[in-house]
């Protein structure tokens, strides 16, 4: 067995008096951990990864790819010799036309700056920049190799004419399909239209989904989505469904959403008899993120026709987010209208959040009117629909031991007709649960 310790050196790859990052020792044939990846800085440039050659044609990926939860990795880059890695630097690239914005997909690591408004109406069907692969879910963001990993600065300019329509059996919809360790700042998206159908679908406006590695940054900041019109139909022929729909971003695995606003409408047609999950939120769908100072004023409508359904579908619907972790100083307005027979399964709805997984929800306000008619089962709360114990395990594995709702203001209204099974609470549909224990780990829940 070879236990040789090898050394990896780092070269900043430009003329500078700055010292290069310290070399790291790696055992023969092992990967370099994400924690060992240096993130250098250079004035006027964005760091765009480490490469095996000075020309930066062969990227070196840190960490490993683990497609299944709690399973060993299946792919990594083994260190088999002493070597030097070279930094790549991206300079700001001006974007002035729709064609130049479309060309961003040719370099997913770049730094792009809008210099004027962009009209995408010349693209009859916009193809999202960057994509998510089916085996990415538990992989480090480093290994989301086809996602956008760069930076887009909107400079307050608007993107108009964004339109995505059609059948998307497994897809991510938005300006970007997927973002990993990337950033979007100070952007307006004016009157986007998302009108899609699918079985496994992440439908957002800025992006379908995003992922952040620990110690890195994945940020959506200062974004205003104006007058979004989102319509999603769940494929009737699907064997299983997983649908996330939101005005800003549909799926988030760590990251920050800050000072963002969304207004418009979201309509979901849920007629598939198959089982599955549905997340709908004015701002975010299934969002495990730090959400700060955001606002959603969205009319959300979910229409069911599942009376003969043979599969259980659980829906999490919130004025701001469908599923969430940390939310601070944010506001949800608008309304949530739920109609029809949802059949097997349950609808969980909250004025701010459908399903609170773990973390702190503080200093927020909700002014959402929730209306329900004809559902077979509904659980609702003025602030959150439920505490979710299953997903709290993820938080406990990261050391989170307390979930708190505090200093929130609830001004929303609720009205229900012909709901067969109804659970309604003023704050949280689950009620005040004192604690939850699993495998020696404990999560406590409090309302202040």
Band of pLDDT at residue 258, cut at 50, 70 and 90: very high
Q: From CA 162, how far away is CA 117, in angstroms rounded?
A: 12
> Quick one: fold of 92-447?
Pectate Lyase C-like (2.160.20)
Report whether pLDDT(389) > 90.
Answer: no
Q: What tokens does 148 get?
A: 């956008």
More confident call, 326 vs 432: 326
Residue 180 burial by CB count (10 A; 0-12/13-18/19+): exposed, middle or buried? buried
Domain with CATH 2.160.20.110 in the chain: 92-447
What does the pLDDT read at residue 373?
A: 98
What top-level class would CATH report for the domain 5-90?
mainly beta
Q: What is the mean pLDDT of the chain?
A: 95
Annotate 19-51 with b (16+ C-beta within 10 A) or e (fewer).
Answer: eebeebebeeeebbebeebbebebeebbbbbbb
Model pLDDT, residue 27: 95
Q: Poorest-confidence range of 94-103, 162-171, 367-376, 390-399?
A: 162-171
Backbone angles phi, psi at 106, to 5 degrees: -75, -20
Q: What percentage of the chain has pLDDT greater than the value 90?
A: 87
pLDDT digits (tens, 9 = 90+) for 283-304: 999 999 999 999 999 999 999 9
Burial of 226 (0-12, 13-18, 19+ CB in 10 A): middle
What pLDDT shows up at residue 2? 58
Q: Which H or E run includes 394?
A: helix 389-397
Look-up: residue for tokens 């500078």?
16
Per-residue pLDDT at 171 exceeds 50? yes
Give the Cα separation of 240 and 235 in Å (integer): 10
Confidence of residue 1 (pLDDT cuts 50, 70, 90): very low
**Which of 435, 246, 438, 255 lies closest to 353 in space, CA to CA?**
246
pLDDT in tens, 9-30: 999 999 999 999 999 999 999 9
* Residue-wise pLDDT tens digits, 434-445: 888 888 899 999
Residue pair 344/309 in contact by the 8 Å Cβ criterion: yes
The model carries a pTM of 0.96
Residue 170 has what pLDDT? 62
Instruction: Classify strands 441-447 and 402-406 as parallel, antiparallel or unpaired.
Output: parallel
Residue 91 CA: distances (Å) to CA of 16, 19, 101, 170:
16, 21, 16, 34
- Given a cut of 60, whether residue 162 has pLDDT beyond it is yes
Kindly give the pairing relationship between strand 353-356 and strand 321-324.
parallel
Q: Which two tokens stand for residue 135?
A: 């085996």
What mean pLDDT do residues 315-333 have? 98
Confidence of residue 390 (pLDDT cuts 50, 70, 90): confident
- CATH 2.60.40 residue ranges for the chain: 5-90
CA neighbor of 184 nearest in space, from 242, 252, 123:
252
Residue 105's pLDDT band, with cuts at 50, 70 and 90, is very high
Compute how many other C-beta atoms are within 10 angstroms of the C-beta atom of residue 232: 25
Q: Report the pLDDT value the prediction gives residue 129, as an integer from 0 to 100.
A: 97
- The first and second tokens of residue 159, run together, are 């993107």
* pLDDT at 383 (0 to 100): 98
Closest of 176, 186, 180 to residue 153, by C-alpha: 186
374, 337 contact by CB (below 8 A): no
Q: Rounded CA gap, 344 and 309, in Å?
A: 6
């Amino acid at each position: 067995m070879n236990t040789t310790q090898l050394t990896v050196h780092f070269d900043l790859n430009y003329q500078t008096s700055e010292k290069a990052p310290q070399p790291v020792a790696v055992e023969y044939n092992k990967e370099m951990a994400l924690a060992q990846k240096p993130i250098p800085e250079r004035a006027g440039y964005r760091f765009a990864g480490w490469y095996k050659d000075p020309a930066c044609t062969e990227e070196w990926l840190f960490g490993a790819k683990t497609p299944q939860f709690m399973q060993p990795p299946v792919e990594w880059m083994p260190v088999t010799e002493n070597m030097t890695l070279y930094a790549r630097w991206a300079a700001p690239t001006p974007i002035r036309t729709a064609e130049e914005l479309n060309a961003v997909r040719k370099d997913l690591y770049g730094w792009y700056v809008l210099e004027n408004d962009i009209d995408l109406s010349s693209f009859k069907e916009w193809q999202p920049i960057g994509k998510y692969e089916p085996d990415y879910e538990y992989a480090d963001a480093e290994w989301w190799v086809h996602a956008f990993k760069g930076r887009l600065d909107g400079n307050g300019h608007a993107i108009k004419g964004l339109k995505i329509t059609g059948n998307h059996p497994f897809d991510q919809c938005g300006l970007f399909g997927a973002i990993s360790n990337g950033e979007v700042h100070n952007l307006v998206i004016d009157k986007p239209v998302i009108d899609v159908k699918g079985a496994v679908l992440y439908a957002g406006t800025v992006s379908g989904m995003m992922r952040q590695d620990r110690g890195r940054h994945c940020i959506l900041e200062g974004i205003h989505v104006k007058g979004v019109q989102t319509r999603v139909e769940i494929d009737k022929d699907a064997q299983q469904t997983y649908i996330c729909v939101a005005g800003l971003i549909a799926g988030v695995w760590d990251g920050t959403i800050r000072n963002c606003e969304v207004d418009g409408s979201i309509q979901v047609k849920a007629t598939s008899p198959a089982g599955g999950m549905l997340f709908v939120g004015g701002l975010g769908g299934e969002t495990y993120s730090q959400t700060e100072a955001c606002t959603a004023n969205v009319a959300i409508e979910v229409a069911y026709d599942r009376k003969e359904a043979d599969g259980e579908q659980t829906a999490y619907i919130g004025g701001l987010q469908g599923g969430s972790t940390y939310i601070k100083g944010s506001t949800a307005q608008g309304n949530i209208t739920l109609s029809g027979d949802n059949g097997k399964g349950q609808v969980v709805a909250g004025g701010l959040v459908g399903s609170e997984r773990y973390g702190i929800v503080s200093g927020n306000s909700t002014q959402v009117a929730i209306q329900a008619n004809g559902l077979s089962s509904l659980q609702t709360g003025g602030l959150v629909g439920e505490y979710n114990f299953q997903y709290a395990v993820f938080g406990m594995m990261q050391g989170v031991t307390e979930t708190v709702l505090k200093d929130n203001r609830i001004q929303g209204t609720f009205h229900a007709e012909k709901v067969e099974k109804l659970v309604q609470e003023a704050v949280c549909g689950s009620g005040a649960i004192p604690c939850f224990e699993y495998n020696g780990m404990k999560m406590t829940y409090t309302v202040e």
